Amino acid sequence: MTSSCNGILLAAGQGTRFGANKLLYPLEDGTPMAVASARHLKAALPRSLAVVADAESELAGRLAKEGLHIIENPRAAEGMGTSIACGVAASPDARGWVIALADMPHIPVAVIQAVAAGLEQGADIIAPDYRGQRGHPVGFAARHGPALMQLDGDTGARGIIAANSGSLQLIETSDAGVIFDIDNPGKKGTDLF
């Protein structure tokens, strides 16, 4: 079944915690981390886009080759919230959005599919859970579009999740890839979004 939800890959980060070209850093098999993340998202959600800081960059070119629609965020330096807003604004007719981080390349396709399926089945906000820790990606129903498009700064969508904690649905997974922050292994991905 093809999902009517859109995938949004957040790939506009400035790499301040890792260094230059963080998202092009090769994984063990040589694949750049953002490309691996893009492949997983695209495999689960054919209607996926990537939000980047510069549409003419090498990163944007590589993500476009993976079949993601490229959206440039001119306000990327202001934080992750602006990238989420950009991605949602670029796909306003979606029935929901599955938002993934380009620096979390170990999230299995099956987990992304489960999040998308949950949205299709009526979940309001949905995310994987690894041993009691909320992970990524996070899915948002269409009703959250206006709030997502208003985001700015670097807190991502944490405020929306907190304000709707009663409707947050968690999917248990035994895969630690949903919380692993590749550039800071001691920090959970949920600390970022």
Residue ranges covered by each domain of the chain: 6-191
φ and ψ of 182, to 5 deg: -60, -30
CA 164 to chain CA centroid, nearest Å: 19
CA-wise closest residue to 103 among 170, 193, 5, 175? 193
Spatial neighbors of 116 by CB under 8 A, at least 6 apart, are 3, 5, 7, 44, 45, 96, 98, 139
Q: What is the pLDDT of residue 2?
A: 56
Question: Coil, strand or helix: which one is 65?
Answer: helix
| Nearest-angstrom CA–CA distance, 103 and 23 | 6
> Mean pLDDT for each consecutive 10-residue tract of the chain (193 residues)?
84 67 89 97 97 96 98 95 97 96 96 97 97 97 97 90 96 95 54 48
Q: What integer pLDDT is reported at residue 18 of this predicted model?
A: 56
**N- to C-terminal Cα separation, the chain:** 28
For residues 115 and 72, what is the distance between their CA atoms, to the nearest angstrom? 25
Give the pLDDT confidence score for residue 17 in this predicted structure.
Answer: 55
| CA neighbor of 7 nearest in space, from 132, 75, 91, 105 | 91
Class of domain 6-191: alpha beta
Alpha carbons 189 and 82: distance in angstroms, whole number: 18
Tokens of 150: 């208003």
Write the single-letter amino acid at 79.
Answer: G
